[in-house]
Amino acid sequence: MRALRRGSERSQLSLGAVKEETRVSIRSDQDILKAREQGRALGQRLGMSNTNLTVVATVISELTRNILLYAKRGELVLGLVERNGQQGLAVTARDRGPGIPDIESALRVGFSTSGSLGLGLPGVRRLMDDFDIVSSLGEGTTVTATKWKS
């Protein structure tokens, strides 16, 4: 499922049953490293391939950097999930920042409001199996992405 919404709509991403969950407050670059380590540890416990562990670490880096850049602080929730007998690792990044005014543009390769290459959110969407983003202006953004164990 690939979804994007603005406003107060609830997430439609069905993660399945959450088996284990870890939360990391994101306030500094040190927290990015901590989140990556936590994600790698959960992925290893799940038995993910080295390739998928690298993908998850990349996604965690991108989402946490966005939190610091746009909202200054937020939270990353990492969860081992199961759906229809399939196991995966869900990454949820939440902030109470300014929100994204145009989600469709933000998901377009090359679009950037910070002067970067504009590969971040489109890359997260492409790398993960499930992707969901909900954003409200002045209230914040939540991105949830899941990588299923193959």
Residue ranges of domains in the chain: 2-148
Q: 């966005």: which residue's tokens?
A: 66
Structure tokens at 114: 């910070």
pLDDT tens-digit series, residues 34-67: 999 999 999 999 999 999 999 999 999 999 999 9
More confident residue, 115 or 150: 150
pLDDT of the residue at 9: 39
Fold of 2-148: Heat Shock Protein 90 (3.30.565)
Neighbouring C-beta atoms of residue 138, cutoff 10 Å: 8
Select from 116, 121, 119 the least CA-distant residue to 132: 121
CB 56 within 8 A of CB 78: no
* Residue 111 scores a pLDDT above 80: no
